[in-house]
Amino acid sequence: MSFPGTWMTTSESMVYRVVPKCACSTIGQIMYFSDHGQFFDGDIHDATGGMHKWAIEDSHAPIERVVRGHSAYAFTCVRNPYTRILSSFFDKICGIQRNGNRYRGKLVPLLIQKYGIEVGGDDGKQEFDQIASFRRFLLFARDTIRWRRPMEPDIHWSAMSGHISTFIVNGGRYDNIFFTEKFNEGMQAVLNAVETPHPVRLENIPRFNESAGHGPQRAHPVEDYFDDLSMHLVYEIYKRDFELFKYDFENPGNKMPLGEVDLDEVHAKLGD
């Protein structure tokens, strides 16, 4: 069995299934701090020690033992599909990544050529029609997810339910799935349920956002980016996410969930 995208504290106090673009940098740093009393110096995604990650070979055995034995509190975090895909566009498509290059090398030139997308010039800082380019990006994202063309779907815009399901299918069970939009409330519930070597006071924790400053600022309200066609595309891609995680498909301007996540429903529907 494998648990891709799973992180665990070295003290085995908590297990987290990473969902990209859903506060994962902040959550990872909180987990690191809870074990070591200090934050990881750098982007937590680059850490190769100080916490267990499925991407690290030596972490496989402890993660599998804890997850399959359900001996630690397991959780994940979700986000409104409209704001998540929009964030992916500005960060990964328009933005320059922390290595100084475009995301995934030839991806952006491919999008410019095949889909007519603009990204704000070489540095991502020039004026461009954000709404038109985002809607064209949505077509690309749909093509990758529906037909795996012109490439495999990327983790940053593939459905949250897909990420979350691998943990369940391979024998894990979540104790909590909370909302990025209610981050403090959700993360506090996790911390209340576990004992950590170092206490964590959420009010003192900064927000770690590895995508901050990568791309141009969003120039319009969220709802302006989504006309009828783009809403249809979003629903085609994220239907399950809207339903399972209780987000409002009808109103892109409402980022807040309409209800709480039903964990039994999530396990039943994603455990097939």
Tell me if residue 198 falls in helix, strand or coil.
Answer: coil
Q: What is the mean pLDDT of each run of 10 residues along the chain (272 residues)?
A: 94 98 96 97 94 97 97 98 96 84 87 91 83 96 93 94 97 98 97 97 86 76 97 96 98 98 98 84
Asked if 185 contacts 9 with a C-beta cutoff of 8 angstroms, the reply is no
Tell me if residue 151 falls in helix, strand or coil.
Answer: coil
- Per-residue pLDDT at 84: 97
Q: Which amino acid is at 85?
A: I
**All structural domains of the chain with their residue ranges:** 1-272
Beta strand spans in the chain (E): 6-9, 14-17, 51-53, 73-78, 176-179
User: How many CB atoms are located within 10 Å of the residue 42 CB?
Assistant: 10
Asked if 68 contacts 173 with a C-beta cutoff of 8 angstroms, the reply is no
The Cα 61–Cα 39 span in angstroms is 25
Asked if 49 contacts 231 with a C-beta cutoff of 8 angstroms, the reply is no
